[in-house]
Structures are given as structure tokens and as C-alpha cells.
């Protein structure tokens, strides 16, 4: 099989395709021939040494795949069946062995590329928007990084609920994000987004905020939150900057986070939560219900992943470059 290895901390050029022996299905697992593998921002953070959950380098990352079942020691799936699901690392491989609890049968009208773009983005967006923030039809939701894979998923799920959608993203992404369902967008790189959103809503008016940026951004979020607002924090992209050494920007970012006291939450009627999909690996049936509702949303036609690019394994560096240089609108998918 083929695998993409991160050889050491560094730029996209440290990614390398290597050949390895084909794996066998581990007891209690399903062997899948991978047809498409999703690229997540976390993969790029692992490559630059800023992702604490990643295996020690050198390693093969990748949180999600879609493909065909080769063998199943659990009889949950049939050989040849099309499946997609979460892998806790190792997804950048042309074959993977995965527990059946992490896999879902693909609907007939779903392509492998679309399927590989679903697990990380849609599970994260679903948990943040629906489980944490419990967004209601008459509420305003702010989605930061609205043009990323998770952001697009959150827009589609918020539209399904009927909420009013505000987003921050680089300006060139705005026209497409409006087509997808965002109502108001702010280019946070050139505009004071707090001032602009408070102008648009007539005061701190957000009922829910989805924040993958972290650091000081979380402090600013508090300035746009209305009474009864919920904030879901699920990322830390702020300290990832080209050429940075890992330690100081990360420390600066951690120091910039709000130290919100319980009395502040009580006084403002706010709820603040943190989310890490990678730490929910053992939450079997509770996560299964999330996956099943995401598949219902697919059947309704409410969700369709936005594919920024399909890139062959041999050109994996370009996939990472696209994310780092902010050239992706939606998901980048690797093809073995």
C-alpha cells in the first residue's frame, strides 16, 4: 500500500509517499481499500509540530477516509461495500483497518470524495452547532472560518435549522458562502469584525458562536454575545503562521484566551464549551446518533460537502499548501 508520511517538523515538502506492506484486518476491525482521504487543518498543525494529539514524528496522519470493504472480521459490512468514517490517524493510506463503530455505509448518490469530506467537518460542526449551542430557528449564529471545511458544514447545518447565519472569512470566499446559505459575512482580515457584527445586529447580538480560531479571538467573541449566548470553542488556528517557531506563538495565543469567571457567565447568561472530536473515539452509540442524523441531512439534500480540490497522494504537499495559504474554500481531499 501507499502512505503519506510526515518525515519531520517542517513545511509541506516534508510529506513523502512511501510503500508499505498491505495491512490485514485486525481482530474486531474492518479492512478498507481507501479511495479518498480527507485533509484537515489538524494535519497541517501536526506537520508544523503544533498539534499535541498527533503521534510522534515521523508518522502518518489522517482522520477520515472513504473506500471499499476488503475484509471484515466482525461481519458488520460485506466485502465490496462502500463505506466512510473516522480513523484516528493513519488515514493518509491506500488501505486502513478500522473498528466498525467508526464506519458508515455510503448512500448510493454519494461519491468517495464527498464521503471523505464528511466525518471530521460534519461531526465537528454538528456537535458545536447542535449539541453544544442547540441553535434554534429564530437565532443568530456566528461561524468563524466560515470558508473552511467545518465552516461550510456549519453553514449547511445552520441553514437546515433555519437560523440567521453570520460568518467571518477571507473576502474572496464571500460570494460562494452566500450561495451556500450565509446571510452576512465579514472579512476579519481587513475589517474590525466585532464592530461590524455589532453594527449589523444592533448590539451584542449573537446567540451562538462557533470558534475554531482560539486565542485572543475568544476574548473578542464575548463582545458580540447576547444574553443566553453559547460559545463553542474547537480550534487553535491563531498561532499557525508561516515560518513561526512553535513555542512562542502558541504561548502568546494561550495567554490571549479569556479567563472567564463563573460570575461573568452567571451575570450574562452565557454558556461556554470546548470540543475535541479526537477525544470522542470511545463514545460509541452517542456518536453513532450524530452520524445517523448527518446521513438524514444528506438524504434530505441539506448537506453537500464543498470540495476545494482532489489531489493525488503524490502531490500531497500541494494539499497542505492550499490550507496554509488560505486557498481552499471547503475541503481538500487526497486520492491514493
Binding site for ligand NAP (CB under 6 A): 40-42, 120-121, 124, 145, 147-151, 169-170, 173, 212, 234-237, 240-241, 275-278, 323-324, 326, 328
Of 184, 217, 191, 221, which is closest to residue 206 (Cα–Cα)? 221
* Closer Cβ to ligand NAP, 212 or 336, answer by number: 212
SS3 335: strand
| Shortest Å, Cβ 254 to ligand NAP | 14
| Shortest Å, Cβ 50 to ligand NAP | 10
* Closer Cβ to ligand NAP, 104 or 236, answer by number: 236
Q: Contact 328/307 with Cβ under 8 angstroms? A: no
| Shortest Å, Cβ 198 to ligand NAP | 20
| Shortest Å, Cβ 247 to ligand NAP | 16
CA gap 58, 219 in Å, rounded? 35
Q: Contact 65/38 with Cβ under 8 angstroms? A: yes
- Pair type for strands 30-39 and 95-98: antiparallel
Q: H/E element holding 200?
A: helix 193-201
| Shortest Å, Cβ 237 to ligand NAP | 4
| Shortest Å, Cβ 120 to ligand NAP | 5
Residues near 194 by beta carbon (within 8 Å), at least 6 away in sequence: 220, 223, 224
| Residue at grid coordinates 472569512 | 169
CA gap 149, 83 in Å, rounded? 20
- Pair type for strands 82-86 and 64-72: antiparallel
Of 238, 194, 244, 249, which is closest to residue 212 (Cα–Cα)? 238
| Shortest Å, Cβ 169 to ligand NAP | 4
* Closer Cβ to ligand NAP, 147 or 336, answer by number: 147
* Closer Cβ to ligand NAP, 150 or 297, answer by number: 150
CA gap 225, 33 in Å, rounded? 46
* Closer Cβ to ligand NAP, 82 or 320, answer by number: 320
| Shortest Å, Cβ 42 to ligand NAP | 5
* Closer Cβ to ligand NAP, 201 or 250, answer by number: 250
Q: Contact 199/166 with Cβ under 8 angstroms? A: no
* Closer Cβ to ligand NAP, 142 or 169, answer by number: 169
* Closer Cβ to ligand NAP, 236 or 313, answer by number: 236
DSSP conformation letters of 205-257: -EEEEEESS-THHHHHHGGGEEEEEEEEE----TT--TT--SHHHHHHHHHHS
Amino acid at each position: 500500500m501507499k502512505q503519506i508520511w510526515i518525515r519531520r517538523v517542517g513545511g509541506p515538502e516534508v510529506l513523502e509517499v512511501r510503500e508499505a506492506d498491505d495491512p490485514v484486518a485486525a481482530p474486531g476491525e474492518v479492512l478498507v481499500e481507501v479511495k479518498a482521504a480527507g485533509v484537515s487543518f489538524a494535519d497541517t498543525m501536526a506537520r508544523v509540530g503544533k498539534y499535541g494529539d498527533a503521534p510522534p514524528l515521523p508518522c502518518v496522519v489522517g482522520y477520515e477516509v472513504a473506500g471499499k470493504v476488503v475484509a471484515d472480521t466482525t461481519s458488520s459490512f460485506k466485502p465490496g461495500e462502500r463505506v466512510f468514517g473516522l480513523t484516528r490517524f493513519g488515514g493518509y493510506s491506500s488501505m486502513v483497518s478500522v473498528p466498525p463503530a467508526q464506519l458508515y455505509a455510503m448512500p448510493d448518490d454519494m461519491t468517495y470524495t464527498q464521503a471523505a469530506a464528511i466525518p471530521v467537518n460534519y461531526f465537528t460542526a454538528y456537535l458545536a452547532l447542535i449539541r453544544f449551542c442547540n441553535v434554534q430557528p429564530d437565532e443568530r449564529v456566528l461561524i468563524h472560518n466560515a470558508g473552511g471545511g467545518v465552516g461550510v458544514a456549519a453553514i449547511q447545518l445552520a441553514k437546515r435549522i433555519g437560523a440567521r447565519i453570520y460568518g467571518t472569512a477571507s473576502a474572496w470566499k464571500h460570494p460562494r458562502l452566500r450561495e451556500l446559505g450565509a446571510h452576512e459575512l465579514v472579512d476579519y482580515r481587513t475589517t474590525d469584525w466585532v464592530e461590524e457584527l455589532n453594527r449589523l445586529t444592533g448590539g451584542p447580538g449573537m446567540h451562538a458562536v462557533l470558534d475554531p480560531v482560539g486565542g485572543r479571538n475568544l476574548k473578542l467573541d464575548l463582545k458580540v454575545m447576547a444574553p443566553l449566548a453559547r460559545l463553542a470553542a474547537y480550534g487553535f488556528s491563531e498561532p499557525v503562521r508561516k515560518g513561526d517557531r512553535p513555542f512562542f506563538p502558541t504561548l502568546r495565543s494561550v495567554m490571549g484566551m479569556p479567563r472567564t469567571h463563573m460570575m461573568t457567565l452567571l451575570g450574562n447568561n452565557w454558556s461556554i464549551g470546548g470540543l475535541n472530536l479526537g477525544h470522542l473515539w470511545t463514545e460509541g452509540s452517542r456518536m453513532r446518533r450524530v452520524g445517523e442524523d448527518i446521513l438524514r441531512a444528506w438524504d434530505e439534500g441539506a448537506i453537500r460537502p464543498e470540495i476545494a480540490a482532489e489531489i493525488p497522494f503524490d502531490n500531497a504537499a500541494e494539499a497542505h499548501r492550499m490550507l496554509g495559504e488560505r486557498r481552499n474554500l471547503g475541503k481538500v481531499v487526497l486520492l491514493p
